[in-house]
Amino acid sequence: MHLIGRKASKENLKSCMDATQSCLVAVYGRRRIGKTYLIRQYFAESTVFDITGLHNGTMSDQLLHFRNTLIKAGYRDAIEVPKTWLSAFYMLENYVDTLKGRKKKVIFLDEMPWMDTPRSKFLMTFENFWNSYCTKRNDLVVVICGSAASWMIKKILNNKGGLYNRVTHKIKLEPFTLHETELFLADKGIVWNRYDIVQCYMIMGGIPFYLDQVRKGESVMQFVDRTCFTASGMLVHEYEELFASLFSNSERHYKIIETLATIKKGLVRDVLLQKSGMATGGSFTETLDELLASGFVDKQLPYKKEKQGSLYRLADPFMLFHQQFMKGRTRKTANSWVKITDTPAWYAWAGLAYENVCMQHVPQIKEALKLTAISTEESAWRGGDSVAQAQIDLLIERADNIIHICEMKFSKGIFSIEKKYAAELRQKLFVFSQQPLNKKKTLFLTMLSTFGIQPNAYSHEMVQNQLTMDDLFIP
C-alpha cells in the first residue's frame, strides 16, 4: 500500500477495520480528488466486492453491470440478470454468505449517485440491505462513495429515512495541502523548489489527478503548456467534462462560476443572484449549495456575523485559472503559457491565486503564528463608506484580545511596502479599528508573502508578523 498524506482519512479507515461491528463509511469530495484510489489502496487485501456506477447508465445497464461484477468477484451463481435492485442486493447477500473467515470484508460502491437512477428505488433497497443484513453481522465494512458531493450530503449524510444516523464514518476528502503536494511530487521524482510548487498549486490546486500529469524533467511552465494549451492537452476540456459529470442542468453552475470569476473578491448572496441573472428561489439555492459541497465555491463568514452577509468566492484554483486564461481560447499552441506570464493579466491573476492558496492553508498559518493553543475565529470583513471603503479577506481573531489582519502578497522576490501601499494599509486598519466592537482590540498586521518583506521604514512601522510561503508547507 502506497498512499501519500491523507493521515486523518487513513486513521478513520483503520478504525473501521478495528471496530467490533459492521461499519458504513461515506466518502465524498470533488471529482479527481483521489477517493477511489484511497479506498482501493487502503483496502486492497480486504475488498470482496468493488463496483463503480455507470455515468448516464439506465437502470437495466446498472443491474447488468452489478451482476457481471458479482461474477468477476467469484460468485458463479449470479446467472440471471436481476430486474430490480432488491433482487440485486439479495444476490450480493448470498455471495457474501459464501465467504469464510472472521476478518473484515469490504464492499465498495463507487460513484453511488450514478446508480440511483430515476424511479429505480435504489436508495430504498440499499437502506434495506444495510439495516436488514449488514447490521446483523460484525465483519462488514460497506464504503459508499460519490463525486456528486451534494447528492452524498443530501441523500446519505442528511438522510431522514432508513439511513438516518446509520453512517458510522464520514470522510470528506480534501485536496492535498502544499506539504502533501511536495511529498507527492517528490515521490514521482519531480525536482521542483517550493516557489515552483506554489506556482503549480496556484493553477492546479492540490488535486492528485492533475498533479499526476507532471512529467519528470519538465518545468512548471512546460507542464501547464502541455496540459492546458495544446490541442491534445489532458486538461483542455476538463472544465466542461467536470461539470457535465457532476451536475444535471450544469448551465446554472456555469453561470455562478462565471459570475464569481469576474468579481475577484467575492459577492454576497443577493448580489451574486442579481449578477448571475438567475431567478430567485430553490434552483439558485440548490445550485449554490452543490458548488459549495463540491468545493468549487467557498463561503466566508462575515466578521461578527454582520448584517452584510457571507461572502461567496471562487475557491477552486483550476476554475479560476480556466476562466482567466483558457476560456474562449480557440487556438491551442505550445508556449502559450510562457507568453502569458509577465503580462498585467498574469500579475493580477497571480495575486488572487496566491490569496486562494493562503486561504486554503489557514491551519498552517495559525501554526506558524503559534496560535494552536489559543481559541481563534476566522472571518472576512468589508466596511467603510462610499469614500473610504475597505476589505479584509482574512481576519484571525484571538481570544486574548488580538486580531490578525492578514495581507497576502505574491511576488517573484522579496516584497517591498512602498508609500502608496502603506497608505492603503493605514486606511484599511483605521476604518476597521473605528468599528465599535474593535476599539478595544489590538490589531496585528500580518503579511503573508512568498519570499518575505523588505525591511524599510514602512514595514518597521506597520508589520507585526510576517510569514513566507515556506510556512504554508507546515505538515
Domain stop point among 149, 172, 195: 172
Whether residue 440 is found in the same domain as residue 366: yes
The CATH code of the domain that includes 288 is: 1.10.10.10
Query: In the predicted model, what is the mean pLDDT of residues 327-354?
Result: 85
Residue 223 lies in a domain: yes
In terms of average pLDDT, the best of 122-131, 238-247, 308-317, 388-397 is: 122-131
Report the alpha-carbon distance of residue 382 to residue 391 in Å, rounded: 4
Strand arrangement of the beta sheet that strand 402-409 belongs to:
376-384, 389-398, 402-409, 442-449, 463-467
Whether residue 387 is found in the same domain as residue 350: no
* pLDDT tens column, 17-62: 999 999 999 999 888 999 999 999 999 999 999 999 999 999 999 9
pLDDT over threshold 70, residue 306? no
Nearest to 415 by CA among 456, 462, 376, 385: 456
Domain stop point among 172, 193, 214: 172
Nearest to 410 by CA among 347, 465, 332, 457: 347
Beta strands at 463-467 and 442-449: parallel, antiparallel or unpaired:
parallel
Tell me what pLDDT residue 387 has: 46
Report the alpha-carbon distance of residue 46 to residue 60 in Å, rounded: 29
Report the alpha-carbon distance of residue 100 to residue 123 in Å, rounded: 28
Whether residue 415 is found in the same domain as residue 457: yes
Report the alpha-carbon distance of residue 365 to residue 350 in Å, rounded: 20
C-alpha distance from residue 352 to each of 176, 324, 355, 403 (Å): 19, 11, 5, 23
The CATH code of the domain that includes 117 is: 3.40.50.300
Average pLDDT, the chain: 92
Report the alpha-carbon distance of residue 455 to residue 201 in Å, rounded: 28
Task: State the sign of the Cα–Cα–Cα–Cα dihedral 176, 180, 184, 186.
Answer: positive
Classified as helix, coil or strand, 324 is helix
Report the alpha-carbon distance of residue 181 to residue 475 in Å, rounded: 11
Residue 289 lies in a domain: yes
In terms of average pLDDT, the best of 274-283, 328-337, 354-363 is: 354-363
The CATH code of the domain that includes 427 is: 3.40.1350.10
Percentage above 70 pLDDT, the chain = 96
Tell me what pLDDT residue 323 has: 93
Residue 144 lies in a domain: yes
The whole domain housing 321 covers: 239-325
Phi, psi dihedrals of residue 76, rounded to the nearest 5°: -75, -15
- From 238-242, 383-387, 410-414, 441-445, the region with the lowest mean pLDDT: 383-387
Residues counted in the chain: 475
Indicate the number of domains in the chain: 4
- From 128-137, 178-187, 240-249, the region with the lowest mean pLDDT: 240-249
Whether residue 299 is found in the same domain as residue 341: no
Q: At CA 155, angle to CA 93 and CA 53, rounded to 5?
A: 55
pLDDT over threshold 70, residue 305? no
- From 59-73, 244-258, 321-335, 401-415, the region with the lowest mean pLDDT: 321-335
Whether residue 145 is found in the same domain as residue 199: no
Query: In the predicted model, what is the mean pLDDT of residues 374-395?
Result: 80
- Write down the pTM of the prediction: 0.91
CB 54 within 8 A of CB 175: no
Phi, psi dihedrals of residue 172, rounded to the nearest 5°: -95, 110
CB 446 within 8 A of CB 467: yes
- Please report, to the nearest 10 degrees, the dihedral formed by the alpha carbons of residues 4, 9, 13, 18 taken in order: 100
Whether residue 168 is found in the same domain as residue 89: yes
Whether residue 310 is found in the same domain as residue 215: no
Residue 1 lies in a domain: no
Tell me what pLDDT residue 231 has: 87
Nearest to 407 by CA among 466, 455, 461: 466
Q: What is the 3 state secondary structure string of 445-466?
A: EEEEECCCECCCHHHHHHEEEE
Tell me what pLDDT residue 307 has: 55
pLDDT over threshold 80, residue 217? yes
Report the alpha-carbon distance of residue 268 to residue 307 in Å, rounded: 11
CB 409 within 8 A of CB 415: yes
Supply 40's cell numbers.
482501493
Tell me what pLDDT residue 93 has: 97
Report the alpha-carbon distance of residue 107 to residue 99 in Å, rounded: 12
Instruction: Please identify which residue in the block is written with the cell numbers 465483519.
Output: 139
Whether residue 226 is found in the same domain as residue 244: no
Whether residue 165 is found in the same domain as residue 22: yes
Phi, psi dihedrals of residue 268, rounded to the nearest 5°: -75, 165
Classified as helix, coil or strand, 197 is helix
Residue 383 lies in a domain: yes
Residue 450 lies in a domain: yes
Whether residue 88 is found in the same domain as residue 193: no
Domain stop point among 172, 197, 226: 172
Report the alpha-carbon distance of residue 185 to residue 174 in Å, rounded: 17
Phi, psi dihedrals of residue 272, rounded to the nearest 5°: -60, -40
Tell me what pLDDT residue 243 has: 85
Whether residue 231 is found in the same domain as residue 243: no
Phi, psi dihedrals of residue 10, rounded to the nearest 5°: -65, -35
Tell me what pLDDT residue 275 has: 92
Residue 402 lies in a domain: yes
Tell me what pLDDT residue 264 has: 75
Report the alpha-carbon distance of residue 300 to residue 63 in Å, rounded: 43
Whether residue 343 is found in the same domain as residue 210: yes
Q: At CA 37, angle to CA 327 and CA 23, rounded to 5?
A: 125
